């Protein structure tokens, strides 16, 4: 046995595990099928701008322990996520707050907004929501649903809102204050210099091999490590023997524009179904860039197929049952730990990824 741990995936979960196990004196080998480390938080420098290659990542947490942990590896700026929504020729602030409602209905006070929402909820007449559309109508009424939820959600999930389970939006954050800060967390920001540098610091002194496929590598090196930490897709690990879990994938169209400032905000959502992309990211605004050019990425949501990059687990009833069956197989697998978004078939915010990795190290290390 050459290594104590083979860590499959050099994303945030794998990098935290490797860093912590290495600190405990364990010999780790990290492999990744991609040509780079940092997984989906990887940033590529273009025109002096840190481009979020796999979609926007904004670190936020209310857990001071996790915030302090991450600050070992980077200094964070004071970026506040305040997305804009575009519907036809109208602009709205997100999350739903007094700025949103004032623009939508021409009213100014929280009481007026509460009365308007209550009126529209009553008109919808839904007491037991059976799907996402009914759930939304019963929470915020028709105007907000039609303009800001329906088109975006149907593009994101590739399904009609009537076909989506209500639990996807069990609650909708509605604020009766003029506050555009998307997150309620105490700590928030973007690492100065981008996310890739965080992974580099976590993996400092640890052997890493990129462009390395786990399945091929293990056939050639069956006894390479005592234990495996697997952060890839749990169904792929088992050869899809029970069937493939469903994911949504995202395709990015990134381009350099010969202007200093394209849209005036880092994140602009397009909530009209007729617009094919879900949002446009202008990367320089994450770090308050003053570069002469700018880089934007349009995001197109699609159904995942084998060979594509999986992003969002489709946690409906069918997939949850299938995952539970894979989980049983995983628990029977000796000396393999399944972790991260794909290993646990669960969407995680970054702070929760770090938290889960630290908890797992305590358990096994």
Query: Catalytic amino acids?
Result: 171, 175, 248, 279, 299, 347, 349
Q: Which residues contact 161 (CB under 8 A, 6 or more apart)?
A: 131, 132, 133, 136, 149, 150, 153, 154
DSSP per-residue codes, 14-36: HHHHHHHHHHTT--EEEE-SSSS
The dihedral region occupied by 158, where left means phi > 0, alpha psi between -120 and 50, and beta the remainder, is left
DSSP structure class, residue 288: T
User: Kind and range of the H or E element at 140?
Assistant: helix 132-140
Contact 188, 80 (CB under 8 A): yes
Q: Nearest 5 degrees, angle CA 154-CA 159-CA 165?
A: 95
Interatomic CA distance for residues 235 and 252, integer angstroms? 25
Contact 212, 32 (CB under 8 A): yes
* DSSP reduced 3-state for 70: helix
Task: For residue 207, list its beta bridge partners.
Answer: 29
Helix, strand, coil % over all residues of the chain, rounded to 5: 35, 20, 40
């Amino acid at each position: 046995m050459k290594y104590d741990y083979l860590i499959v995936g050099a994303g945030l979960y794998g990098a935290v595990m490797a860093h912590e196990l290495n600190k405990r004196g364990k010999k780790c080998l990290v492999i990744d099928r991609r040509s780079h480390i940092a997984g989906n938080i990887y940033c590529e420098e273009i025109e002096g701008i840190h481009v979020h290659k796999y979609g926007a990542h904004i670190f936020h947490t209310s857990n001071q322990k996790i915030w302090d942990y991450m600050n070992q590896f980077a200094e964070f700026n004071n970026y506040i996520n305040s997305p804009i929504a575009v519907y036809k020729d109208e602009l709205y602030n997100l999350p739903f707050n007094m700025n949103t409602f004032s623009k939508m209905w021409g009213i100014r006070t929280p009481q007026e907004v509460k009365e308007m929402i209550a009126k529209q909820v009553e008109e919808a007449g839904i007491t037991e929501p059976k799907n996402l559309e009914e759930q939304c109508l019963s929470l915020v009424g028709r105007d907000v649903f039609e303009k800001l939820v329906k088109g975006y959600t149907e593009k994101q999930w590739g399904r009609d809102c009537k076909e989506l389970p209500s639990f996807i939006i069990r609650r909708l954050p509605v604020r009766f204050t003029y506050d555009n800060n998307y997150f309620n967390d105490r700590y928030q920001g973007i690492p100065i210099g981008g996310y890739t540098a965080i992974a580099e610091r976590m993996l400092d002194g640890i052997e890493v091999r990129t462009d390395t496929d786990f399945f091929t590598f293990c056939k050639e090196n069956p006894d390479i490590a005592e234990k495996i930490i697997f952060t890839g897709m749990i169904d792929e690990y088992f050869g899809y023997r029970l069937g493939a879990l469903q994911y949504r994938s995202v395709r990015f169209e990134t381009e350099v524009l010969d202007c200093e400032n394209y849209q005036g905000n880092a994140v602009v959502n397009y909530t009209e179904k007729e617009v094919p992309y879900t949002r446009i990211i202008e990367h320089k605004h994450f770090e308050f860039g003053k570069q002469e050019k700018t880089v934007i990425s349009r995001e197109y949501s699609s159904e995942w197929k084998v060979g594509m990059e999986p992003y969002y687990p489709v946690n409906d009833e069918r997939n949850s049952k299938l995952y539970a069956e894979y989980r049983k197989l995983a628990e029977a697998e000796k000396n393999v730990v399944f972790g991260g978004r794909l290993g646990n078939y669960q969407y995680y915010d970054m702070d929760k990824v770090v938290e889960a990795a630290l908890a797992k190290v305590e358990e096994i290390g």
